Amino acid sequence: MITLHEVHEKGSEAVKAAVLAFGARHPFGNAGPDWKWAEKHFTYLIEAIMGPATPPQVGAAPTVRRAENEAIGFLLAVNSQPNYRCPICVMRQRPPL
Protein backbone atom coordinates (compact mmCIF):
# COMPACT_ATOMS: atom_id res chain seq x y z
CA MET A 1 0.00 0.00 0.00
CA ILE A 2 1.26 3.45 -0.86
CA THR A 3 2.36 5.75 1.93
CA LEU A 4 1.58 9.42 2.35
CA HIS A 5 5.30 10.12 1.97
CA GLU A 6 5.37 8.30 -1.39
CA VAL A 7 2.31 10.22 -2.53
CA HIS A 8 4.12 13.45 -1.69
CA GLU A 9 7.34 12.39 -3.40
CA LYS A 10 5.66 11.21 -6.62
CA GLY A 11 2.82 13.71 -6.81
CA SER A 12 2.23 16.91 -8.68
CA GLU A 13 2.45 20.26 -6.94
CA ALA A 14 -1.28 20.08 -6.19
CA VAL A 15 -0.88 16.62 -4.64
CA LYS A 16 2.10 17.78 -2.58
CA ALA A 17 0.07 20.73 -1.27
CA ALA A 18 -2.82 18.39 -0.42
CA VAL A 19 -0.49 16.05 1.47
CA LEU A 20 0.97 18.95 3.45
CA ALA A 21 -2.55 20.18 4.26
CA PHE A 22 -3.54 16.68 5.43
CA GLY A 23 -0.44 16.60 7.65
CA ALA A 24 -1.40 19.97 9.11
CA ARG A 25 -4.70 18.40 10.22
CA HIS A 26 -2.63 16.24 12.59
CA PRO A 27 -0.78 18.78 14.75
CA PHE A 28 1.93 17.76 17.16
CA GLY A 29 1.61 20.66 19.57
CA ASN A 30 3.60 23.60 18.30
CA ALA A 31 6.11 21.33 16.59
CA GLY A 32 4.20 21.10 13.32
CA PRO A 33 2.44 18.10 11.82
CA ASP A 34 2.48 14.69 13.47
CA TRP A 35 3.45 12.77 10.37
CA LYS A 36 3.23 9.42 12.14
CA TRP A 37 -0.51 9.96 12.78
CA ALA A 38 -1.08 11.46 9.36
CA GLU A 39 0.53 8.38 7.75
CA LYS A 40 -1.60 6.03 9.86
CA HIS A 41 -4.77 7.93 9.09
CA PHE A 42 -4.00 7.95 5.37
CA THR A 43 -3.58 4.16 5.52
CA TYR A 44 -6.84 3.85 7.48
CA LEU A 45 -8.55 6.03 4.87
CA ILE A 46 -7.38 3.71 2.09
CA GLU A 47 -8.55 0.69 4.08
CA ALA A 48 -11.95 2.29 4.71
CA ILE A 49 -12.35 2.96 0.99
CA MET A 50 -11.38 -0.64 0.17
CA GLY A 51 -13.84 -2.06 2.65
CA PRO A 52 -13.76 -5.85 2.98
CA ALA A 53 -11.31 -6.26 0.08
CA THR A 54 -8.31 -5.47 2.30
CA PRO A 55 -5.06 -7.33 1.59
CA PRO A 56 -3.79 -10.03 1.68
CA GLN A 57 -6.70 -11.33 -0.37
CA VAL A 58 -5.62 -12.81 -3.67
CA GLY A 59 -6.34 -10.48 -6.56
CA ALA A 60 -6.79 -7.41 -4.37
CA ALA A 61 -4.07 -5.36 -6.11
CA PRO A 62 -6.46 -3.55 -8.49
CA THR A 63 -8.79 -2.79 -5.58
CA VAL A 64 -5.88 -1.45 -3.55
CA ARG A 65 -4.76 0.78 -6.43
CA ARG A 66 -8.27 2.13 -6.90
CA ALA A 67 -8.59 2.82 -3.17
CA GLU A 68 -5.20 4.56 -3.12
CA ASN A 69 -6.26 6.74 -6.07
CA GLU A 70 -9.57 7.53 -4.37
CA ALA A 71 -7.74 8.49 -1.15
CA ILE A 72 -5.47 10.83 -3.13
CA GLY A 73 -8.56 12.23 -4.84
CA PHE A 74 -10.08 12.83 -1.41
CA LEU A 75 -6.98 14.77 -0.32
CA LEU A 76 -7.21 16.91 -3.46
CA ALA A 77 -10.94 17.50 -3.00
CA VAL A 78 -10.76 18.60 0.63
CA ASN A 79 -7.59 20.62 0.18
CA SER A 80 -9.70 23.51 -1.11
CA GLN A 81 -11.82 23.44 2.07
CA PRO A 82 -10.28 25.75 4.67
CA ASN A 83 -11.24 23.93 7.87
CA TYR A 84 -11.89 20.32 6.94
CA ARG A 85 -11.16 17.65 9.52
CA CYS A 86 -9.53 14.29 8.97
CA PRO A 87 -12.38 11.78 8.64
CA ILE A 88 -10.42 9.20 10.63
CA CYS A 89 -9.91 11.66 13.51
CA VAL A 90 -13.62 12.50 13.44
CA MET A 91 -14.64 8.84 13.33
CA ARG A 92 -12.44 8.03 16.33
CA GLN A 93 -13.88 10.88 18.39
CA ARG A 94 -17.46 9.65 18.12
CA PRO A 95 -18.88 8.26 21.34
CA PRO A 96 -19.66 4.54 21.23
CA LEU A 97 -23.25 3.63 20.38
For residue 34, pLDDT over 60 is answered with yes
What are the boundaries of each domain within the chain?
A: 4-51+61-93
Q: Read off the pTM.
A: 0.85
pLDDT band at residue 96 using 50, 70 and 90 as cut-offs: low
pLDDT in tens, 42-64: 999 999 998 865 555 666 688 88
Long-range CB contacts (within 8 A, 24+) of 83-90: 84/25, 85/25, 86/22, 86/25, 86/26, 86/38, 86/41, 87/45, 87/48, 88/40, 88/41, 88/44, 88/45, 88/48, 89/25, 89/26, 89/41
Report the pLDDT value the prediction gives residue 16, as an integer from 0 to 100: 97
Report the pLDDT value the prediction gives residue 57, as an integer from 0 to 100: 60
